A and B are shown apart, each in its own frame.
Chain A
Amino acid sequence: MTGMLAEGFLVSLQIFALTLVGSLPLGMLVAFARMSSFKPLALLARFYISIMRGTPLMLQMFAIYFVPFYVFGIRLTTDSKWYATIVAFVVNYAAYFAEIYRSGIQSIPRGQHEAAEVLGYSRTQTFVRIVLPQVVKRIMPAMTNEVITLVKDTSLAFSIGVIEMFTVAKQLVASQVSMVPFAIAAAFYWVFNLLIDALAGRIERKLSYYHD
C-alpha cells in the first residue's frame, strides 16, 4: 500500500518540480510586465494576475484542458490531462511568484539603483549584481510559504484524473474501507514539507551574513 502511494507521490513530485521549473522564470517575466512603464503591458499583466489569483486553480485546469478541444477541435487524450495540469499549475503559480518578485524588487531602496547608475553599471548589471541578490534574501520567507503550498496543491490534479498520490490514496481508502491511506499520504506531504522547510532555513542562514 505504501509502495503504491510512493509511486503516486513520484507523480506528485513531477508536478511539483515541473511547476517550479516553469513558474519561477515565468513569474519574473510577469513581474517585469507588471512593472513595465508601457501601460498596456502593465495592465495586461495585472489582468492576468487578477484572473489567476481570483479563480480556483481547479477551474483553471479544466479550462486549459478543454480549450484545445473547443477552440481547435483537437481530440483529447489521457496525455492532454497531464499537459493541462502542468500548464495550469505553471501559469497559476507564475502569477503568485510575480507578485512576490515585484514586492521584493520594489522594496530595494532607490539609493541602490542610483549608486549603481552613477558608478556606470548597465541596467542589466544593476539588476543581476545589485538588486537580485538582495531581492532573493528579502523574498525567501514568502517564497517558502508558496512552495510549501504548492506541495499540497499538487493533490488538486486528482480532480482532472491525473493519477498522483492523492488519487491513489482515495482509491485505496475506497477499496480497503480504511482511512489509513489518507494518513500515510498526509505523512508524505508533511515529511516532504519538513525537508523544504529545512532547506529554506539553510538558505536563509546562508544569506544572513548581512542585514540592511
Chain B
Amino acid sequence: MTDVEKNAARPVVSLEHARKSFGEAEVLRDISLSVSPGEVVAIIGPSGGGKSTLLRCLTLLERLDDGSLSYGELPVASGGAYGDKNALAAARSRFGLVFQSYNLFPHFSVLRNVMDAPVCVQGRPREEAEAEARALLAKMGLAGCEDKVPCQLSGGQQQRASIARALAMHPQILYFDEPTSALDPELTAEVLRVIKELAAESMTMVVVTHEMAFAREVADRVIFMDGGVIVEQGSAEQVIDHPREARTRAFLAQRGA
C-alpha cells in the first residue's frame, strides 16, 4: 500500500470499548465505532439510549470512563486516560459539532459567528476568513443575512448558520446532534437538504436523528443504539427495512417507520 492508500484506509475517528457512567447509570457499555473518510453514519434509537452521550464523548464534551479514542493518527484517550491540553486541542480541530439548539452566539452577527473562530482560534487572516464565511453562508442559502443577529433568523436559518460556523473550521468530520428536533417540518426539510448536499460532497458525517426517511436516503450506515449498546448496524436497508433484532423492530414499529 502507498501512503495515500494507507491514509485513505485510516478511519477519521475511531472509538474502542468505550464506557461511560453517570453515577449508577451506565450510559455507554463497551461501544466501538469507527468512521471512514466520506462515510455518512446515522445513529437512531430511543431517547436515553446513549446516542447523545456517545456524540458528547466523541466531541470531548464528556470524558470516557474507559476505552480509547483517536482522530486519525492522533491518540486522544486510551484506557480512559486522556492526552494533554495540546493533544485535545489538536483533536478538536478535526471535528465540528452541530447542536440541536444551534447554540449560535447571540451577540455576534451571523457573519461574525462564522468567521470569529477561524480568526481567533486558528489565527487565519481576517480577510480570508471573512471571504470564506460569506461563501459558506451563501452556500447555506443565507446570503443577505450576514449582518443580522441570530435572533432575527428562523430556526432553520439559525441551524444552517451553525452548520456554516462548523464548516468554517475545516473539520474532517462533522457531528450532528438531532439537528432538526427543534424545528417544524418545513424548516426541517431545508436543514436536511443542506446535510444531503454535504453528503454529496463526500463530507464525513455522523448524524444522530429521528428522521428515518432522511437516514434511509443519506446514510451509508445506520446504527441502532439502545440501552448503551449498539444493537445493530448496517445499511439503511438492513437496519430500517429488514431489522434482525427485536429491539430494533419494536423501536421502528413505534415510530411508524
Contact = CB atoms under 8 A, between A and B. Distances in A.
Whether both chains belong to one complex is answered with yes
B117 A119 contact: yes
- Sort chain A's interface into a size bin: 20 to 34
A67 interface: no
Interface string B115-131: 01100111000000000
A112 B121 contact: no
Given A114-B99, A118-B96, A118-B97, A211 B106 contact: yes
B18 interface: no
Nearest to B95: A118
A118 B150 contact: no
Given A111-B99, A112-B105, A129-B116, A119 B149 contact: no
B92 A137 contact: no
A114 B151 contact: no
A210 B101 contact: no
B150 A210 contact: yes
Interface string A118-131: 11110001000110
Nearest to B85: A122
Contacts of A209: 149
Contacts of B142: none
B32 interface: no
A40 interface: no
Interface in B142-177: 149-151, 165, 169
Contacts of A12: none
A134 B120 contact: no
Contact of B121 (A111, A114, A125, A137): A125
Contacts of A129: 116, 120
Interface of B: 59-61, 89, 92-93, 95-97, 99, 101, 103-107, 116-117, 120-122, 149-151, 165, 169
B103 A114 contact: yes
A203 to B, nearest CB: 14
A113 B105 CA distance: 10
B61 A118 contact: yes
B106 A120 contact: no
24 contacts: A109-B103, A111-B99, A112-B103, A112-B105, A114-B103, A115-B97, A115-B103, A115-B105, A117-B61, A117-B92, A118-B92, A118-B95, A118-B96, A121-B117, A121-B121, A129-B116, A129-B120, A130-B105, A133-B107, A134-B107, A209-B149, A210-B106, A210-B107, A212-B106
A97 to B, nearest CB: 21
Contact of A212 (B89, B121, B151, B169): B151
Contacts of A116: 105
A209 B109 CA distance: 10
A67 B52 CA distance: 57
Q: A-B pairs with the 8 shortest C-beta distances?
A: A115-B103, A111-B103, A212-B106, A119-B117, A210-B149, A120-B121, A118-B97, A120-B92
A211 B151 contact: yes
Interface in A135-186: 137
Nearest to B96: A118
A121 B89 CA distance: 9
Nearest to A209: B149
Contacts of B93: 120
